[in-house]
Amino acid sequence: MQNDQLLILRRRYHKLCNCTRLGFLYYTMKRKKSVILFSFVCLFVAPVWISAQTTLPAASELKKLSFEELMNIEVTSVSKVPERLTEVASAIQVITNDDIKRSSSNTLGGALRLASNLQVAKTNSHDWAISSRGFNGATLRNNTLSNKLLVMIDGRSVYTPLFGGVFWDVQNVLLEDIDRIEVVSGPGGTLWGANAVNGVINVMTKSAKETQGMLVTASTGTFLQDHLAARFGTRIDSNLYLRVYGQHFDQGSTKLANGTDARDNWGLTQGGFRLDYYPSAKNSLSIHGDAYGGSEETPIGSKQSGQNLVGRWVHTYSETSELVVQAYFDRTWKYLLASDLRELLNTYDIDAQHRFALNKSNSILWGIGYRYMDDHTSNTFLPANRGLNLVNTFIQDQINLIPHELDLTVGTKFLYNTYSGFEIQPSARIAWMPTPRHTLWGAVSRAVRTPSRFETDIFSPPTLSTPGGIFKAETVVSYEVGYRVRAGERVSLSLAAFYNFYDDLRSFNNNPTPPTTFIFANDQEANTWGFEISGNAVVNDWWRLRGGYTYLDKKFTSKSPNVLPASALIEALDPKHQVMIQSVMNLTRNLQWDVAARHVGDIQSTLVGTAAVGAYTTFDMRLAWESPKFTFAVQGQNLAASDHAEFSSQQIPRSVLAKISFRF
Amino acid sequence: MREEIRYIAPLFRKCFIQTGVVLVCLFGMQSLHAQTNVSKEYRIKAVFLFNFTQFVEWPSAAFSGPTSPFVIGILGDDPFGNSIDETIQNEKVGSHPLVVQRYKDLRDLKNCHILFLNGSDPEKVRENLLVINHYTLTVSDADNFMKSGGIIRLITENNRIRIQVNPEAARTAELFISSKLLRVSEIFDPKNQPK
């Protein structure tokens, strides 16, 4: 029956192709942009009245399966729109395990492209420029100066005190283990750690209980040359679960603007474990750790390694009261060959957070945390070694003004750090749910970006010096409004608009008091404004769509005549427009066809020697055959854009990859 | 290798358009072959219900005669559609032929061996469970089902179905749950729950 249909289809489609030689389609074929347009049209014109298609074996076959096999079948090939999102009064977007699996991404950075409220650009073979609501900073060595995002992986903050950003090349979570990634654009300052000025990325992996059995994947392709991963999950005792995993990959190099090989290939090997223990229904304990080592060639040849160990205990007193205690140790080491710079960072962190209902209408969340970061450098920074203290405490009250209808959340975070001392970050949010399907919300918050070693300790005579202890924290006051709507079980839409006012932003100034030519200061202000639209649509049993559009604009002002004109561009290199659409489709019971397309607007000229980055439109595509035990996928990235620059001058290639996975 | 890709790429682009055309056709075709729209989740849950008949033992007192039917009851709106009928078609539990009965309301309820309670209203579920007889394996996917005294709850989490069992409640209903089923299930202990 299925085959017959296909045969008829094939005939029809040959006919159609012939007919269209002279028609509209042929015209569109001739133009690259129109190809994309056509693909979008394909995705959207498809009628919503399409009836459900059988993607399950017949009942008679299902009955032959064991309980274990039945429990392994994915019941919603098309995930339902997450319900609790409607209640969240912030610009949150969620990337699920299935979204990642059905995209063609093979790195965390790639997976983050699926959140349309993030600006994600690949800078070279191994690094990414990732920001939310703008402020993707200029490239520095292998990384970028982007510093207004808080990134957490299973409760562990991965920002570096060296420059306040993230070394994306060493955040290699096994994508199959990710449960969900929550991306909040806008200040999350009240509840989360430092640097949540423009957004929070919260990566959560599955528990060991949810990753039982063996998984082996092997990939080979034109850009990601090889990737091998294995994960094994087992039940040690009735309440004790363990998983261990390992992965290794080698990625090829990009090209320089002139077409020559950029020689920035890299490779990394990583392993880790997670132990989940449920001694009783009221307690759970999770211990997990990772260790990795890798090396990169250009722009700066480097080697890196790291280990981390996290323990978290959750105690539930009642449905409205819970205590979470977490501690972790994180060691990262980096060696940049060209500048002979070695950096060793040891982080020790302990946090506790308690949630309880004060009375019927007040729900309190409060917490306290201490972090000590011991940073050793071999040169470039003075003093070479620094011990950094970070103490933070927060309290938040969620006040239920009208039950199920009007919620007010007020809170503040107090932060003490070695550089700028005491900082206060208050926020207020209001959410109105006129009906269970609609949420209107608004928020005002203040957040700070604490100084990093880059602005305070860098030692690079005779060019650049730092104002030492007088470099202040950068601040933002953010005004947000948003609207979420859920139309039935199948469609949800979210709109968030913001206006941010930044003060004391970092600037590069002409130094009025030589010897050095330039000096850091807090002499920039900026306004940014924009909006984010995102949506999920479950078209039918076998097809769903998600996507979004983000608009962002900004204006910088210098507060001093000494500020170098390029200062604004060093801080913020962002496209004004970006669009992302992901289509997830089960063509037959076993055949999956997925497309993730994106358009990213142009980015203003970067610093001397690099051209502006032009707008580009491209798509990733995946075709996979999947059975309960086996997946074979062919996936392509950047299929519509051959070598193209996304942030720096490195040209990101079009690539194709074959991937095979076994589960048993 | 990269050179090869460059040659393949334009082909790929063309293929993409053609795939698009195929899809448009596919949509057209699909609309002609309408099928009943029962969610995948409930079609699998129907199979779970059937499997319970094989891994739970009912005492002979639960049946009025040696060939009297084994009844799977559905209380409330029926989420299974005909998938449950398809599943149990021509099946027997020992000498008892399987039948499905649907009850709109508690008042319609007759003796049944497995009862699936649909409805997420915990108060209603609790109320329903109070009047259910011995020898009935109560199954639901409602959130508060176990706390209300239900025997088996089907939990959908991370796109997969898990089973939660309260052996104590099963014993009270005079049912014997096989170790094979218990091994793959989570055990619900009413004494060890957060308040």
Per-residue pLDDT tens digits for A404-456: 788 888 989 999 999 889 999 999 989 898 887 888 999 999 999 999 998 88
- Under a CB-based contact definition with an 8 Å cutoff, are residues A506 and A524 in contact? yes
Is residue B181 within 8 angstroms of chain A, CB to CB? yes
Q: What is the pLDDT of residue A39?
A: 45
Which residues, at least 6 apart from A254, have a Cβ–Cβ distance to it below 8 Å? Answer: A124, A125, A262, A264, A643, A650, A651, A652, A653
**Residue in B with minimal Cα distance to A281:** B193
Residue of A nearest to B155 (CA): A71
pLDDT of residue B194: 60
Tell me how far apart the alpha carbons of residues A231 and A133 are, in angstroms, rounded to a whole number: 36
Closest approach of A638 to chain B, Cα-based (Å): 10
Please measure the distance between the N-terminal and C-terminal CA atoms of chain B and give it in whole angstroms. Answer: 62
pLDDT value at position A252? 94
CA distance A95 to A115: 7
CB nearest to B31's CB, from A51, A541, A593: A51
Across A253-257, A340-344, A498-502, B117-121, the highest mean pLDDT is recorded for A498-502
For residues A479 and A171, what is the distance between their CA atoms, to the nearest angstrom?
31
Query: Between chains, do B160 and A72 touch, taking CB under 8 Å as contact?
Result: yes
- Yes or no: say if A128 and A122 are a contact pair by the CB < 8 Å rule: yes
Q: What confidence tier does A525 reach under pLDDT thresholds 50, 70, 90? A: very high
Which chain B residues are Cβ-neighbours of A58 within 8 angstroms? Answer: 86
Smallest CA-to-CA distance from A182 within A121, A92, A80 is with A92
Please, how many CA atoms are within 13 Å of residue A497, restricted to the half-sphere of its CB?
Answer: 3
* Burial status of residue A515 (CB atoms within 10 A of its CB: 0-12, 13-18, 19 or more): exposed
> Is it the case that residue B4 has pLDDT exceeding 60?
no
SS3 A380: coil
Is pLDDT of A22 > 60? no
Residue A30 has pLDDT above 50, yes or no: no
CA distance A646 to chain B (A): 19
Chain B residue with the nearest C-alpha to that of A60 = B87
Contact status of A317 with chain B (Cβ, < 8 Å): yes
Of the pLDDT bands very low, low, confident and very high (cuts 50, 70, 90), residue B30 is: very low
Answer whether residue A634 shows pLDDT above 90.
Answer: yes
Strands A464-465 and A474-487: unpaired
pLDDT of residue B143: 79
Q: Check if the beta carbon of residue A599 is closer than 8 Å to that of residue A577.
A: yes
Provide the Cα torsion A93, A96, A98, A104; round to 10°.
60
Out of B9, B35, B50, closest to residue A52 by CB: B35
Q: How far apart are CA A645 and CA A656, in angstroms?
A: 18
Q: Among all residues of chain B, which has the CA nearest to that of A66? A: B51
The DSSP bridge pattern shows strands A421-435 and A406-417 to be: antiparallel
Chain B CB contacts of A12 under 8 Å are 25
Question: Using the 8-state DSSP alphabet, how is residue A405 labeled?
Answer: T
Degrees, nearest 5: CA angle B28-B34-B39: 120
Distance from CA of B130 to the nearest CA of A (A): 24
Contact across the interface for A77 and B40, Cβ inside 8 Å: yes
Q: What is the pLDDT of residue B112?
A: 87
* DSSP E strand stretches across A403-465: 406-417, 421-435, 438-449, 464-465
For the four alpha carbons of A501, A127, A620 and A259, in that order, the dihedral sign comes to: positive
Strands annotated E in chain B: 56-57, 70-75, 92-93, 96-103, 114-117, 137-140, 152-157, 160-165, 176-177, 186-187
What mean pLDDT do residues A378-392 have?
91
Collapsed DSSP state (helix, strand, coil) of residue A663: strand
In the predicted structure, residue A13 carries a pLDDT above the cut 70 = no
Least confident stretch, A571-575, A586-590, B9-13: B9-13
Q: What is the mean pLDDT of residues A499-505?
A: 96
Give the count of Cβ contacts less than 8 A between chain A and B.
158
Rounded distance between C-alpha atoms, residue A124 and residue A106, angstroms: 15
Find, among A550, A562, A548, the residue nearest to A509 by Cα: A562
Looking at A3-12, A110-119, A184-193, A295-304, which range is the least confident one? A3-12
pLDDT at B188 over 60: yes
* Residue linked to tokens 């990710």: A178
pTM: 0.75
Report the pLDDT value the prediction gives residue A75, as an integer from 0 to 100.
59
**Average pLDDT for A107-122:** 95
Residue with the bigger pLDDT between A48 and B36: it is B36
| Crossing angle of the two packed helices B2-32 and A32-45, in degrees rounded to 10 | 30
A322-372 pLDDT, tens digit each: 899 999 999 999 998 878 889 999 999 999 999 898 998 898 889 999 999
Higher pLDDT, B50 or B37: B50
Cβ–Cβ of B43/A62 closer than 8 Å? yes
**Whole-angstrom distance, CA of residue A267 vs CA of residue A569:** 31
Least confident interval from A122-136, A262-276, A443-457, B14-28: B14-28
Closest-CA residue in chain B for A82?
A: B158
Residue B4 C-alpha, separation from nearest chain A C-alpha, in angstroms: 10
Whether A27 has its CB under 8 Å from any CB of chain B: the answer is no
- Quick check: A458 and A381 in contact, CB under 8 A? yes
Cα separation, A122 vs A124, in Å, equals 6
d(CA A250, CA A347): 28
Which tens digits make up the pLDDT trace of B52-83? 998 999 988 888 888 899 999 998 888 888 88
* Most A CBs within 10 Å, among B11, B15, B33, B43, to test the A interface: B43
Q: What is the residue type of B51?
A: N
Whether pLDDT at A569 is above 50: yes
* Phi, psi for A73 (deg, rounded to 5): -75, 135
Q: Is A87 exposed, middle or buried (0-12, 13-18, 19+ CB in 10 A)?
A: middle
Cβ-proximal residues to A245 (8 Å cutoff; 6+ apart), any chain: A174, A177, A229, A230, A231, A232, A271, A272, A273
Residue of B nearest to A315 (CA): B194
Q: Provide, as residue numbers in chain B, all residues whose Cβ is less than 8 Å from the Cβ of A56.
A: 40, 43-44
Within 8 A by CB and 6+ apart from A154, the residues are A203, A204, A205, A288, A310
Summarize the confidence of residues A188-202 as an average pLDDT.
Answer: 76
Residue in chain A nearest B42 by alpha carbon:
A75
Q: Residues A640-659: pLDDT tens digits?
A: 988 999 988 889 999 999 99
Residue of A nearest to B89 (CA): A60
| Best of A35, A62, A617 to mutate (most B CBs within 10 Å, chain B) | A62
Does the beta-carbon distance from B13 to A73 stay under 8 Å?
Answer: no
Query: Taking 80 as the threshold, does the pLDDT of residue A577 lie above it?
Result: yes
Task: State whether residue A240 sits within 8 Å of chain B by CB.
Answer: no
The CA-atom distances, in angstroms, between A545 and each of A73, A137, A590 are 22, 32, 19
Indicate whether A576 pLDDT > 70.
Answer: yes
Q: Which residues of A touch B156 (CB under 8 A)?
A: 75-76
Task: List chain A residues with CB under 8 Å of B51.
Answer: 63, 67, 70
Chain A environment of B89 (Cβ under 8 Å): 59
SS3 content of chain B, % helix, strand, coil (to 5): 45, 20, 35
Share above pLDDT 90 across residues of chain A, in percent, rounded to a whole number? 53
Neighbours of A494 (CB within 10 A): 23
Nearest to A170 by CA among A195, A142, A196: A142
Amino acid at A57: P
**What pLDDT does A374 receive?**
96
Q: Best mutation site among B23, B41, B92, B183 for testing chain A: the one with the most A CBs within 10 Å?
A: B23
Q: Do B44 and A56 touch (CB under 8 A)?
A: yes
Contacts of B11 (CB under 8 A, 6+ apart): none
B16, B33, B87 member nearest A35 (Cβ): B16
pLDDT band of A469, cuts 50, 70, 90: confident
Question: Rounded to a whole number, what is the distance in Å from the CA of A223 to chain B's nearest CA?
Answer: 9
Q: Is the Cβ of A104 closer than 8 Å to some Cβ of chain B?
A: no
- Residue A633: name the closest of A280, A128, A104 by CA: A104
Higher model confidence: residue A47 or residue B90? B90
Task: Kindly state the average pLDDT of the residues A30-44.
Answer: 45
Please name which of A321, A328, A327, A325 lies closest in space to residue A307, comparing C-alpha atoms. A328
> Strand A591-600 vs strand A616-627: parallel, antiparallel, or unpaired?
antiparallel
pLDDT digits (tens, 9 = 90+) for A271-295: 999 999 988 878 999 999 999 999 9
- For residue A208, count CB atoms less than 10 angstroms from its CB and return exposed for 0-12, middle for 13-18, buried for 19 or more: buried
Q: Out of A5-9, A95-99, A630-634, which region has the weakest mean confidence (pLDDT)?
A: A5-9
> In the prediction, which pLDDT does A316 show?
87
Please report the ipTM that was assigned to this predicted complex: 0.74
pLDDT at position B121 is 67
Q: Which amino acid is at B112?
A: C
Cβ pair A318:B51 closer than 8 A: no
Is pLDDT at A38 greater than 50 in this prediction?
no
Give the count of beta carbons closer than 10 Å to the beta carbon of residue A143. 24
Contacts of A544 in chain B (CB under 8 A): none
pLDDT at A611 over 60: no
Task: Give the three-state DSSP class for A434.
Answer: strand
- Does the pLDDT value for residue A102 go beyond 70? yes
Q: Quick one: pLDDT at residue A68?
A: 79
Taking a contact as any Cβ pair under 8 Å apart, which residues of chain B between 9 and 48 contact chain A?
A: 9, 12-14, 16-27, 29-31, 33-37, 39-41, 43-44, 46-48
Average of per-residue pLDDT values in chain A = 85
- Judge whether residue B131 has pLDDT over 80: no
